[in-house]
Structure 1
Amino acid sequence: MLSSSIATAFTLATMIALGLCGALMFGEYTETNFLINLKSHAGPASTMIRLSFCLVFMMHMPYAFFVAKECILVIYDEFTSRALSNKLEVKLADYLSKHLNREQ
């Protein structure tokens, strides 16, 4: 739930920023597809807008980029709570205790 809220908030902020940048940079000459206008302008603002759009696109294409999205979320979860590492350590301890008891 939290990751969905974060993704939705990021998407909303990016889309609002794209709309404002389009209105400020191109005025009444803004194309329906804002990325068409960005091709004609080089610079850090254009690059940041295109990279932000790519990130939003990547996070919302479930079939093409699901693996990348899942890996990013697992890495984030590991940094914040070590959930996967803790489960693996418990399983390894159980496995070792069972096999060490059999050998004795």
Structure 2
Amino acid sequence: MRLPDGAARPVAVPPGPLLGIDPDAVFPVTEIPLTTGTLLVLYTDGLVESPGTDLDDSIAQIADRVAAADDRDLDLFIDTLLGKAATTGQRTDDIALLVLQHASRP
């Protein structure tokens, strides 16, 4: 999550079952208040997991990129987040990325 002041941090949410494994699975629900200017970045493990890399370090690196990226153009913002993932040959999983921006109403 990137706050309106530009600070970014991971959001702690309870883990749930893997998608598609159990059609009767119950998933935990987490409410996160979003103020105007907040960005919520949701991604799959393919963005942060790679062989020989500490997961906590990878998540911290994503948070740093989220904080540093220009959010005036969300397409470019997403390209910035995917940039390193696209150039490394160590990726072993697909990547899904969803960026939500809480904007004020015109």
TM, length-normalised to structure 2: 0.25
Q: Which has the higher helix share?
A: 1
Larger radius of gyration: 1
Q: Which has the higher strand share?
A: 2
Compare relative contact order (CA 8 Å, sep 6+) and give the higher one, 1 or 2. 2
TM, length-normalised to structure 1: 0.26
